[in-house]
C-alpha cells in the first residue's frame, strides 16, 4: 500500500464508528472497554480482559466477532485442558488406497478471533502452548508447522488472580498481549438496562459491517499514520521510565517496581496510538494518543516488587505519575 489516501482514512473512520454503534446496540455501557478492544484488533494485537465473572466479557467478544464477520472460536480453559486441545492433533484415518494415514485436525486456534475464556484457570503448560500462536501466528504439531488464518487475535479473559483456582500467567506470555483491559462493574443505571435487554423476548440480530479482509485493510492503513520525532521520544521516555534504575523513572517506580516494559511495550504504544489517531480521522499521532493507550499497554508490564505487592500499589497510579514525568523530561531535553 502506498501513500495514505484521505478517502480511505475517512471511510475507515466511518466504518469503525458503525461497528462501535452496532456493538452498543447489544452491549450496555462498557464504551471504553469496547473502544480499547477495537484498538487492539485494528492494531493486530492480542488483548487480555480482566474482571470478575459475570460482567459480560465473553458475550462482548462474541458480539464483536459477529459485527465484524470474523470466524470465532471459544476455548474454556480448565486445569485439565491439554495443549493439543487448542492446537489440534494428528488422527489416523482410512485413505483411498485402503490403508491408514495421519490427518491433521485443526484445533480452535484456527479462527480469526480465539476467545481464551478464563485463561488463568489452565496450567502453565497449556497457557504456554499459546505462545507460538500468539507470537508467530503458527502452530507446530509433531514437527509440522501450520499457518493460522489472517487476521488472528487471541482475546483472553482472566479472573483476578486472588480468586481460588487461578494460575498467574508466565511473564513471557503476559508480554505477548498488546494490552490489558480492566472490565469494571456496571453502574446502577447500566444494571437496570442490562436486565431490561436480557430478560425480554425480543432479540435483534446484529448487522455485519465489515469482514476479515477489511480488518486487514484497516491494519495496513493504521501503519501509515505518521509519528513525529517528539512524540516518539515521549513514548521512549515513558517506556524507559517503567524501570526503577532509569533516569526517567519516578519515585513510585523506584520504590515499588521490580522491572518494567521491554521493547514490545514501546511497539505496542506506537501501534495502538496510530489506531487511536485513525479512529479520530487524523494523519498523525499526538502525545495525547500515547497517554491514552499507556494504561492498557503498561499495566501488565509493570512487575511489582515485594513491597509493592504488600502495599497493593495501583499500577495505574504509577503509570499516571510516569506519564507526567516523561512529558516534563521531554520538555527539558527539547529546551536544551
Over residues 242-300, the pLDDT tens digits come to: 999 888 788 988 999 998 898 999 999 999 999 999 998 888 999 999 999 999 999 99
Confidence at residue 39, expressed as pLDDT on a 0 to 100 scale:
93
CATH number of the domain that residue 233 is part of: 1.10.8.80
Question: 69 CB contacts (<8 Å, ≥6 apart)?
Answer: 208, 209, 210, 211, 212
Residue 145, pLDDT above cutoff 70: yes
- Exposed, middle or buried, 79 (CB in 10 Å: 0-12/13-18/19+)? exposed
**158 and 116 inside one domain:** yes
Q: Among 139, 173, 194, which residue terminates a domain? A: 194
Q: Looking at per-residue confidence, does 5 or 302 come out higher?
A: 302
Whole domain around residue 321: which residue ranges? 225-336
**30 and 166 inside one domain:** yes
CATH number of the domain that residue 57 is part of: 3.40.50.300
Side-chain half-sphere of 319: how many Cα atoms within 13 Å?
Answer: 21
Confirm whether 6 is domain-assigned: yes
With bands split at pLDDT 50, 70 and 90, how would you rate the model's confidence at 1? very low
pTM of the shown model: 0.86
Confirm whether 156 is domain-assigned: yes
**Number of domains making up the chain:** 2
> Between the CA of residue 304 and those of 127, 176, 307, 310, 324, what are the distances in Å?
22, 19, 8, 9, 20
Residue 123, pLDDT above cutoff 60: yes
**237 and 336 inside one domain:** yes
**164 and 268 inside one domain:** no
Top mean-pLDDT range of 14-28, 106-120, 240-254, 262-276: 262-276
Confirm whether 309 is domain-assigned: yes
**27 and 90 inside one domain:** yes
What is the spatial distance between Cα 11 and Cα 66, in angstroms, rounded to a whole number?
Answer: 20
Residue 163, pLDDT above cutoff 60: no
With bands split at pLDDT 50, 70 and 90, how would you rate the model's confidence at 166? low
Instruction: Give me the mean pLDDT over the 5-13 stretch.
Output: 85
Confidence at residue 206, expressed as pLDDT on a 0 to 100 scale:
78
Residue 232, pLDDT above cutoff 80: yes
Confirm whether 212 is domain-assigned: no
Q: Looking at per-residue confidence, does 189 or 273 come out higher?
A: 273
Which helix (H) or strand (E) is 105 found in, with range? strand 100-106
**256 and 165 inside one domain:** no
Confidence at residue 164, expressed as pLDDT on a 0 to 100 scale:
58
Amino acid at each position: 500500500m502506498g501513500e495514505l489516501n484521505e478517502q480511505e482514512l475517512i471511510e475507515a473512520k466511518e466504518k469503525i464508528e458503525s461497528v462501535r454503534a452496532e456493538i452498543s446496540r447489544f452491549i450496555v455501557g462498557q464504551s471504553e472497554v469496547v473502544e480499547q478492544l477495537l484498538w487492539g484488533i485494528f492494531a493486530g494485537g492480542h488483548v487480555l480482559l480482566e474482571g470478575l465473572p459475570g460482567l459480560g466479557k465473553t458475550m462482548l467478544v462474541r458480539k464483536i466477532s459477529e459485527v465484524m464477520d470474523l470466524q470465532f472460536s471459544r476455548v474454556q480453559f480448565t486445569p485439565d485442558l491439554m495443549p493439543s486441545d487448542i492446537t489440534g492433533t494428528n488422527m489416523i484415518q482410512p485413505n483411498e488406497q485402503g490403508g491408514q494415514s495421519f490427518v491433521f485436525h485443526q484445533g480452535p486456534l484456527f479462527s480469526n478471533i480465539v476467545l481464551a475464556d478464563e485463561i488463568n484457570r489452565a496450567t502453565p503448560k497449556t497457557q504456554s502452548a499459546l505462545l507460538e500462536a500468539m507470537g508467530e501466528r503458527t502452530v507446530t504439531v509433531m514437527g509440522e508447522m501450520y499457518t493460522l488464518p489472517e487476521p488472528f487475535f487471541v482475546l483472553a479473559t482472566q479472573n483476578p488472580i486472588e480468586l481460588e483456582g487461578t494460575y498467574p500467567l508466565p511473564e513471557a506470555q503476559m508480554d505477548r498481549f498488546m494490552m490489558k483491559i480492566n472490565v469494571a462493574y456496571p453502574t446502577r443505571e447500566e444494571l437496570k438496562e442490562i436486565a431490561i435487554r436480557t430478560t425480554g423476548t425480543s432479540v435483534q440480530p446484529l448487522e455485519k459491517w465489515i469482514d476479515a479482509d477489511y480488518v486487514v485493510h484497516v491494519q495496513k492503513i493504521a501503519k501509515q499514520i505518521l509519528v513525529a520525532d517528539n512524540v516518539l521520544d515521549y513514548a521512549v521516555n515513558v517506556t524507559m521510565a517503567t524501570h526503577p534504575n532509569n533516569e526517567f523513572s519516578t519515585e513510585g517506580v523506584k520504590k515499588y517496581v521490580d522491572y518494567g516494559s521491554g521493547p514490545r511495550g514501546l511497539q505496542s504504544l506506537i501501534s495502538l496510538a496510530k489506531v487511536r489517531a485513525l479512529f479520530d480521522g487524523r494523519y498523525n499521532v499526538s502525545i495525547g494518543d500515547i497517554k491514552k493507550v499507556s494504561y492498557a499497554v503498561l499495566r501488565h508490564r509493570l512487575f511489582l516488587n515485594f513491597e509493592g505487592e504488600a502495599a497493593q500499589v495501583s499500577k495505574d497510579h504509577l503509570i499516571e505519575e510516569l506519564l507526567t514525568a516523561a512529558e516534563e523530561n521531554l520538555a527539558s531535553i527539547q529546551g536544551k
